[in-house]
A and B are shown apart, each in its own frame.
Chain A
Amino acid sequence: MADTNHTQVVVIGGGVVGCAIFRRLAMGGLKPVLLEAGRDILSGASKANSALLHTGFDAPHGSLELSCMQQGYREYMSLREQLNLPLVKSGALVVAWNEEELGKLDGILAKAHDNNVTDVVHIDREALRRQEPLLSPKAMGGVHVPGEHIIDPWSAPLAYVHQGLAHGGIVLRDCRVESGRFDGIWHLDTNQGEVTADLVINAAGNQGDIIEAINRPAPFRITPRKGQFVVFDKPAARLLKAIVLPVPTERTKGIVICRTAFGNVLVGPTAEDQEDRIHAEVDQAALKQLMARGIEMLPGLANVDVTAVYAGLRPATQFKDYQITAQPDRRWITVAGIRSTGLTAALGIAQHVAGLYGASFGRLANSAPIWTPVPNLCEEQPRTYQAPLSGEIVCHCEWVTRTEIENALDGALPAGDIGGLKRRTRAMMGRCQGFYCSARVMAIAEGKITP
C-alpha cells in the first residue's frame, strides 16, 4: 500500500466489536479503515460464542459492560428488521439444580431489578415444568428472564460491516499490524505496507494487549479463556424453548443449554484459561463432559446426534469490566477485555466509542442510514430455498442453495476463506460436515477462495 494512504481513523480488529465501531464511525461521516489480520472478518474471538442477546440482568451493576449491553440490546432491536437480522424470542430460565443454587435465586432477581431488567420473575418448580416439560425433573426452580434471546452471531457483525462499507468505510483483510509510531499522526506498519491515521482504535480482541503495547505499556493483560461447545442435531430443538442458564459461580457463568438460530441445540461453554491466543482446541474428555451435563439437564439429548463441536477464545483480562478508554494526546482509543457479552454489547460499545470520539476528537455527522440487509439463515424466518428459482440445494444438511453460496462469494465483502463462507451460508456446517457437499461447494468457490 502506498504511504499516501492516509485516513482519519483506523480500527484494528474485525471482530464483532470492531465491525460495530467501524459502522458507527462510517455512519458518522468518517472514512474509517478496518484492519483485520485474518483472511476474513470474525476470524478470532467472534467466530465462536454462544450467540445470545443478553438483557444484562446478571451483569455487574453500574459497570460499563452493563450500560453497553443494554444500549447494544436496544439498538439491535431497533435496527434488526432493516438489516434482516434474526431474533428467536426464547426468553431464558436461570435454573437451580440444588438447594444452594435455589438460595441464590433471590439475589439474582434483586440484581436483575437493580439492573433495570424489571420483567424478571421467580418461577417455581411446577411452573418450570409446565414451561419446559422435557427439562430434567431435578430442576428445582428458577428465575425467568423474558428478554434474553437467540441471534445469529455472524450475520449481525456482517451486516454492521456492510453498512460501514456502504457509508464509505474500507476493509483491509489479511492485514496484520506489526508495529507503529506516533508523531502527531499514527504510522502503522502492516504486512501490506504503512497505513497512516489521525486516530487508532484498538479493538484487537485476543491480541488487544499486544496491539496496545504499540501505544503504551498495556495496563491490562489478555488471558484467553477457552470455551468449548457441543452442537446437537436439529431434532433436539423440539426439546426446549428457553435458554437454560445455570446459577453462576464466582469464576464462571457456567454451562448454558439453548437452541441456536439455525435450529440446533448448543451446550457450553467450558471456561479454561490458556496462554495460546490463536489455537482453540477441542478436547474429547471435555466434550464428553459437556454432553453428559447437557443430557443430565435435558435427558432427551441422549437420543440426538452431535452435529458439530467447536471452541472459542474469549479475551479476558485481569479486570472484570471492559477496558475502554480514550487517550486524546496520543490520538488512540482502547477497546479491550470484551468477553462473551461482546455480541450483545457491540452496538452499545460503538455508541460509547462515538461518544469518546465526540468528546476529544471532533464531531460525528448524523447522516441518514443506508440499510444493507444480509441474507437470513435462521430457520424461523423465510430461507432462500423456499423461494422459486433459488438454484438447487447444495448443502443438504443446512439446506443452502447454490445462489446463496455464489452470493457469499461476491458483493462488497466476499468470503475471504472457507470459515467465512461457512459463517455466511452455513454450507458444510451441518450433520454430515461436508460428506455430501464439500467438493461441490469448493468447485463453486474455485478461484475465489483457497483453502
Chain B
Amino acid sequence: MKTHDVIILGAGPAGLSAAAELKRLGVQDITVIDRETEGGGIPRHCGHTGYGLLQFGKLMTGPDFAKRLVDRVSDLDLRLGHTVLKLEPNGRLQLAGPNGLETLQAQKVLLAMGARETPRSARLVSGTRPWGVMTTGALQQFAYLQGKAPFQRPVIIGSELVAFSSLLTLGHVGVKAVAMIEERSRISAWRPGDWVARIGFGVPVMTDCSDLRILGQDRVEGVSFQRRGVTRTLECDGIVFTGQFRPESALLTQSHLELDPGTRGPVIDQLYRCTDASYFASGNLLRGIETAGQCYREGISAAHAIHAALQDKLAAAATPIRIEAGGALSYVYPQRLTGRGPYDPLLFKARARVATRGTLRVLADGREIWSRPINVLPERRIAWRVPAIDLTGIHHLTVDLQPRK
C-alpha cells in the first residue's frame, strides 16, 4: 500500500489552509478528504459576509471564502464524498467512498473535522418532537444551499454570535424570527447584539428564560418557557437551536487517541500533535467554535509542525508534561507539552465557565510561575502567551482562573 506524506481529514478552513501551507513548504504528496461532496467546510453555507479580510485582504461571503480556499489547492488530491470510518494507530485510515471500502496510509494525518452545534436532544429539552426543530447549521444549508425557508415564524434559542448569523440567514429567505430566547441573564454575544437584533432585525430578545418546552405534533406549533416566575408561550412554526458548538469528534471517540473531556476534542501538545505522533489536529475540532480566521491560522501552524515532523525535526513525544484547567476555566489547550522546544513562548487557549473578574495563573507542580489579571465572559476565547520558561523536572502544569475576592 502506498504511504502518503500527509492526509488531511476535513476540507474546511483549518484543513485547507494547512494543505495550502504544506504545498508552499514543498510537501509533495498531500491528500485532502471530506465527506461532503463540496469542499470549504462550514463557510460554504454561511452566505453572509464577514470572511477573508485578514487572509485574503478583502471582505467576502462564506461561500466565496470557501471557494477561495478550495481553488488554492485544486491541484492536490482532493477526495470529496469520502467518509473516514476508523482512525487506526500510526496513520492508517479506513474509509468508505463511491467505490466501497478502502484503506489509506499516511506518514502524518491532520484531523480537521470541525465542529457542530448541540442539537435539541443532547440539550435534553422538554416537549414533543415535531418537524421544524433544527440547528443554525441545518438552517443555513436549507437557506443558502437550497434557497428554501423551512419555516416562516421561528423562535431562535441562544444568543451567541451564531444566533445573529441565523437572523441573517432567515433574512436571506425573507423570514423574520418571532423572538430570540436566552437562558442567561445577558446575551452571550457582544453587548450591542441586543440592539442589533431588536432594531436591525425587529426581533425581540428575551433573557432569563428557563424550562423550555416544545409544542406541536407533526410540526412545531409553539414554545413555552419560564421567565421571571411566569410561564409564557410563543406561537411559532420552527425553532432554531444556535451555538453550544462541540467538536465533531465521533471518529476520535472510537479511536486510540486520547480526548479531553473539557474541550471534547483531542488532547494535543504545543505542536498540535495528538497522543499518537502520526496524528495532528487543528481548527474547531480542538474545542468547539472559533472564527474561520482562527481555524485558518491554526491550520497553518499545524502545517509547520507537520512539515518539521516529516523531516524528523520535531522533538520526540517523550514523557509529556500534563496541563490541566482549574478554577473557573472549563478547559485549556494544549493539554500537554512534549520535548523542550522549539515551542516557547507557549500559546494557551481557554474558556471560562462563567463570567469572571479575577486572576489567570499558571502553576508548575503547584507553584505559581505566571499570572495576570483578567475579566472574561463565558463563550469567549481567552488566549495568551506565557514567556519561555524552564520546565526541567516539572511534571504537571495547572492553568486556572480564580475570581477576585
CB–CB B96/A385 < 8 A: yes
Residues of B with C-beta under 8 A to A366: none
- With A388-B98, A389-B98, A439-B142 given, name 11 new contacts (CB 8 A): A281-B127, A282-B125, A303-B261, A385-B83, A385-B96, A399-B96, A432-B248, A433-B122, A435-B134, A439-B145, A440-B141
* Closest Cβ–Cβ distance, residue A375 to chain B (whole Å): 16
Residue of B nearest to A39 (CB): B218
B residues adjacent to A (C-beta < 8 A): 35-37, 81, 83, 85, 96-101, 116-117, 119-122, 124-129, 131-132, 134-135, 137-138, 141-142, 145-146, 148, 150, 211, 213, 217-219, 246, 248, 250, 253-254, 261
Residues of A with C-beta under 8 A to B129: 282, 310-311
The tally of residues in A whose CB lies under 8 Å from a CB in B reads: 50
Residue of B nearest to A283 (CB): B126
- The CA of A309 and the CA of B98, in the complex, are separated in Å by 32
Residues of A with C-beta under 8 A to B150: 442, 451
Residues of B with C-beta under 8 A to A39: 218
Selecting from A24-32, A60-68, A390-398, the interface stretch reads: A390-398
- The CA of A387 and the CA of B96, in the complex, are separated in Å by 9
A residues adjacent to B (C-beta < 8 A): 39, 231, 233-235, 278-284, 287-288, 291, 303-311, 385-393, 396-397, 399, 417-418, 431-436, 438-440, 442-443, 451
Known: A282-B126, A287-B124, A288-B124. A432 touches B116 (CB 8 A): yes
CB–CB B119/A387 < 8 A: no
CB–CB B253/A278 < 8 A: no
- The CA of A281 and the CA of B120, in the complex, are separated in Å by 13
Q: What are 26 sample pairs from A and B whose C-beta atoms fall under 8 A apart?
A: A231-B121, A235-B253, A283-B126, A284-B124, A284-B125, A288-B124, A303-B261, A304-B253, A307-B122, A309-B124, A388-B100, A392-B37, A392-B81, A392-B83, A392-B97, A417-B218, A431-B119, A433-B122, A433-B135, A434-B135, A435-B117, A435-B137, A436-B138, A439-B148, A440-B141, A442-B146
CB–CB A438/B121 < 8 A: no
* Closest Cβ–Cβ distance, residue B266 to chain A (whole Å): 14
- The CA of A307 and the CA of B126, in the complex, are separated in Å by 15
Residues of A with C-beta under 8 A to B142: 438-439, 442
- The CA of A388 and the CA of B213, in the complex, are separated in Å by 44
- The CA of A442 and the CA of B132, in the complex, are separated in Å by 12
CB–CB B131/A439 < 8 A: no
- The CA of A291 and the CA of B124, in the complex, are separated in Å by 10
- The CA of A311 and the CA of B135, in the complex, are separated in Å by 21
- The CA of A435 and the CA of B101, in the complex, are separated in Å by 25
- The CA of A161 and the CA of B12, in the complex, are separated in Å by 44
Residue of A nearest to B143 (CB): A439
- The CA of A279 and the CA of B214, in the complex, are separated in Å by 11
CB–CB B250/A397 < 8 A: yes
CB–CB A388/B99 < 8 A: yes
Cβ-neighbour of B141 out of A234, A235, A278, A439 (below 8 A): A439
- The CA of A443 and the CA of B135, in the complex, are separated in Å by 17
* Closest Cβ–Cβ distance, residue B192 to chain A (whole Å): 28
CB–CB B125/A280 < 8 A: no
Residues of A with C-beta under 8 A to B101: 386
- The CA of A24 and the CA of B150, in the complex, are separated in Å by 41
